[in-house]
Amino acid sequence: MGKALIIGAGGVASVAIHKCCQNPEVFEEICIASRTVEKCEAIKNKLAGNRTIIHTAQLDADNTEQVIDLIKSFQPDIVINLALPYQDLTIMDACLATGVDYLDTANYEPPDIAKFEYKWQWAYREKFAEAGLTALLGSGFDPGVTGVFCAYAQKHYFDEIHSIDIVDANAGDHGYPFATNFNPEINIREITATGRYYENGSWIETDPLSVKKVYDLPEIGPKNIYLMYHEELESLAKNIKGVKRIRFWMTFSDNYLNHLRVLENVGMTSIEPINFEGQQIIPLQFLKAVLPDPASLGPRTKGKTNIGCIIQGIKDGKPKTYYVYNICDHQECFAEVGSQAISYTTGVPAMIGAMLMLQGIWKKPGVFNIEEFDPDPFMEALNKWGLPWQESFSPTLLD
Ligand code: NDP
């Protein structure tokens, strides 16, 4: 059916590429392009023998001209951006210059400061609309599947949605006393940021990790969940009409937070350079060097993730509650594609979003967040491609 240019060769890209190769009718030919071409070649070699034809290319996606040249030579039908959030705009510019559809899994971030805002990418709406091109933003899990879950609830179960609580739980255990699932610098920055949620048209700020509850999650059990800001809150507040409150919660164990607190207290999470025996070092970078490499956690992580949306509202004049969630097992993911559940739950939805765009099922001119498309084909594909979901109509609610 089509050709996809996949930019990035990290954890998420590796899963998405495995899934494209399981789906050769749609992904006939792909090109894996990234900064370190050896990583692209390693993925290609692992998947040799599949029907999908795989090419590789070295690419600095910060350079729009390089992306344009590669698009011109490979002639893809879609560009799947699985590099880092810093590359979103250069890649969108290249898509506009060459007339190709675009998909990503994370909002654009200016390199110097974490913002978690869509404004830069939403500013491309008219340009994509005028060019007759589709840009799908945030086709991972959160953002991604969580937005599809909300659109599905709105379409099938509610006349009015009043509140949404997104709960992201990871009960995976890698056996180390302390390690981060992804880049420690980004992880620590996210966790120590101010919390924020949407209520009655305003954004309410909370001190970092100051709002904590216990929630009993299916197949995982009771866990401490902490209120945090997450980027999909911004688009859902606009796109789920009439919603009064949206919050995002994530699990952290006491052990994890204790280690983090000690590291912060002794200055190891600082990004201010210090002089150590005549050498300038940044404590957080030194800490990253002594911590386990997140990529090495895959083979040793046991347990499950559970990510879902608890929704409250009105149907036919009566109050209604709904909980829709996916449970993913770290070891099963590793056995299937060689990555743990964090990359798996992002790489599978990236493939599904791209598949629906290539099939012409999700195709409209402009820049869209995922909840702006018909959720039904995506929900069906989640069941088929490894992220089956479950629903309950009597969940415990978060007050
Ligand atoms: P990794 O760090 O594992 O991989 C990133 C890849 O991008 C690497 O291969 C890296 O190359 C490549 N890259 C970085 N800069 C450039 C550049 N300038 N040009 C070309 N390639 C570049 O990250 P993940 O796979 O974990 O994450 C990928 C994306 O998915 C991120 O944007 C992340 O925020 C997002 N994400 C979204 C989630 C969701 O649920 N929506 C959840 C998790 C992640 P190199 O190998 O040389 O470093």
pLDDT tens for each residue of 269-307: 888 899 999 999 999 889 989 999 887 898 999 999 999
| Closest ligand 1 atom to 83 CA | 7
Q: Establish if 262 belongs to a structural domain.
A: yes
Q: How many domains does the chain have?
A: 1
CATH number, residue 299: 3.30.360.10
pLDDT value, residue 319: 97
Q: Is residue 258 scored above 90 in pLDDT? A: yes
| Closest ligand 1 atom to 145 CA | 40
Q: Which residue's CA is the closest to the ligand 1 atom numbered 43?
A: 346
**Given pLDDT bands bounded at 50, 70 and 90, which one contains residue 239?**
very high
Q: Which residues line ligand 1 (CB under 6 A)?
A: 7-13, 34-36, 39, 59-62, 82-85, 87, 105-106, 138, 140-144, 182, 343, 346
d(C-alpha 342, C-alpha 65), whole Å: 32
Distance between Cα 4 and ligand 1 center (Å): 17
d(C-alpha 22, C-alpha 385), whole Å: 9
| Closest ligand 1 atom to 144 CA | 41
CA contacts within 13 A on the Cβ side of 256: 21
Q: Is residue 109 scored above 80 in pLDDT? A: yes
Burial zone of 97 (CB within 10 Å; 0-12 exposed, 13-18 middle, 19+ buried): middle
| Closest ligand 1 atom to 61 CA | 19
d(C-alpha 204, C-alpha 18), whole Å: 40
Mean pLDDT of 80-90: 95
* E strand or H helix that includes residue 63: none
Q: Establish if 72 belongs to a structural domain.
A: no
d(C-alpha 96, C-alpha 364), whole Å: 15
Which range of residues forms the domain containing residue 188?
Answer: 145-336
Q: Is residue 111 scored above 80 in pLDDT? A: no
Distance between Cα 181 and ligand 1 center (Å): 14
The count of residues in the chain is: 399
DSSP one-letter code for 50: S
pLDDT value, residue 116: 84
Asked, as a colleague might, if the bond just before 143 is cis with ω within 30 of 0, I would say yes
Q: Establish if 105 belongs to a structural domain.
A: no
Distance between Cα 242 and ligand 1 center (Å): 34
How confident is the prediction for the chain on average, in pLDDT?
95
**What's this model's pTM, rounded to 2 decimal places?**
0.95
pLDDT value, residue 231: 93
Q: Establish if 396 belongs to a structural domain.
A: no
The region of weakest confidence among 64-73, 105-114, 374-383 is: 105-114
Distance between Cα 83 and ligand 1 center (Å): 4
Q: Which residue's CA is the closest to the ligand 1 atom numbered 42?
A: 346
Q: Establish if 226 belongs to a structural domain.
A: yes
Q: Establish if 365 belongs to a structural domain.
A: no
Distance between Cα 108 and ligand 1 center (Å): 12
Residue type, 37: V
Q: Establish if 50 belongs to a structural domain.
A: no
Max CA pair span of the chain: 72
Q: Which residue's CA is the closest to the ligand 1 atom numbered 4?
A: 10
pLDDT value, residue 369: 98
DSSP one-letter code for 381: H
pLDDT value, residue 190: 78
Q: Establish if 71 belongs to a structural domain.
A: no
Mean pLDDT of 337-364: 97
Q: Is residue 110 scored above 90 in pLDDT? A: no
